[in-house]
Amino acid sequence: MEVHLEAQTDTYPVATAGAPSGRRKPPVDPIELEHRNLRQGEFWRAIPAYRDVDEATFLDHLWQARKSVKNADELLATIEELADPSFIADAREGFKRAPMSVRVSPYAIAAIDWRKPYSDPIRTQFIPVASKLRQDHPRLTLDSLHELDDSPVPGLTHRYVDKALFLPLNTCPVYCRFCTRSYAIGLDTEMVDKVPLAKTPKDWQAAFDYIASRPELEDIVISGGDAYQLPAKNLRLIGDALLDIPHIKRMRFATKGPAIMPMKLLTDTAWVDALAAVVERGRTLGKDVVLHTHFNSPNEITWITQQAIDVLFKRGIVVRNQSVLMRGVNDDPEVMRLLVKRLSYINVHPYYVYMHDMVRGVEELRTSVATSCEIEKFVRGSTAGFNTPLFICDAPGGGGKRDIHSFDYYDRENGIVVYSAPSVKPGQHFIYFDPLDTLSPEAQGRWEDKVTADAMIADAIEQAGGSPTYVPA
Q: State the average pLDDT over residues 106-115.
A: 96
Position 139 scores a pLDDT of: 86
Residue 135 or residue 37, greater confidence: 37
Tens-place pLDDT, residues 388-432: 999 999 988 888 899 999 999 999 999 999 999 999 888 899 999
d(CA 406, CA 292): 24
Provide the residue ranges of all domains of the chain, joining segments of one domain with +: 5-31, 43-132, 148-405
Q: Treating both helix axes as pointing N-terminal to C-terminal, what angle do 201-213 and 232-243 enclose, rounded to 10 degrees?
A: 20
Query: Do residues 245 and 208 lie in contact, with contact meaning Cβ atoms separated by under 8 Å?
Result: yes
Number of H helices, E strands in the chain: 16, 15
- CA atoms within 13 A of residue 64's CA, in its CB half-sphere: 29
d(CA 261, CA 159): 31
Sign of CA dihedral 142, 145, 149, 151: negative
Tens-place pLDDT, residues 268-299: 999 999 999 999 999 999 999 999 999 999 99
Q: State the average pLDDT over residues 244-251.
A: 98
Q: Report whether pLDDT(21) > 80.
A: no
Position 244 scores a pLDDT of: 98
Averaged pLDDT score across all residues of the chain: 88
Return the number of other C-beta atoms located less than 10 Å from residue 112's C-beta.
Answer: 23
Rg (C-alpha) for the chain, rounded Å, is 24
Position 75 scores a pLDDT of: 86
Distance of CA 244 to the CA centre of its chain: 30
pLDDT band of 10, cuts 50, 70, 90: very low
Residues 6+ away with beta carbon under 8 Å from 33: none
Q: Report whether pLDDT(6) > 50.
A: no
Query: Do residues 77 and 69 lie in contact, with contact meaning Cβ atoms separated by under 8 Å?
Result: no
d(CA 219, CA 288): 9
d(CA 128, CA 75): 12
pLDDT band of 181, cuts 50, 70, 90: low
Q: State the average pLDDT over residues 12-25.
A: 58
Q: The sheet that has 428-433: what strands, in order across it?
A: 409-411, 416-420, 428-433, 469-471
d(CA 79, CA 89): 13
Tens-place pLDDT, residues 344-386: 999 999 999 999 988 888 899 999 999 999 999 999 999 999 9
**3-class secondary structure, 412:** coil
Quote the pTM value: 0.89
Q: State the average pLDDT over residues 191-204.
A: 61
Nearest to 429 by CA among 468, 373, 465, 380: 468
- Homologous superfamily (CATH) of 148-405 is Aldolase class I (3.20.20.70)
Position 13 scores a pLDDT of: 47
Position 190 scores a pLDDT of: 43
d(CA 391, CA 156): 25
d(CA 114, CA 82): 6
**3-class secondary structure, 352:** strand
| H, E, C per residue of 207-240 | HHHHHHHCCCCCEEEECCCCHHHCCHHHHHHHHH
**3-class secondary structure, 171:** coil
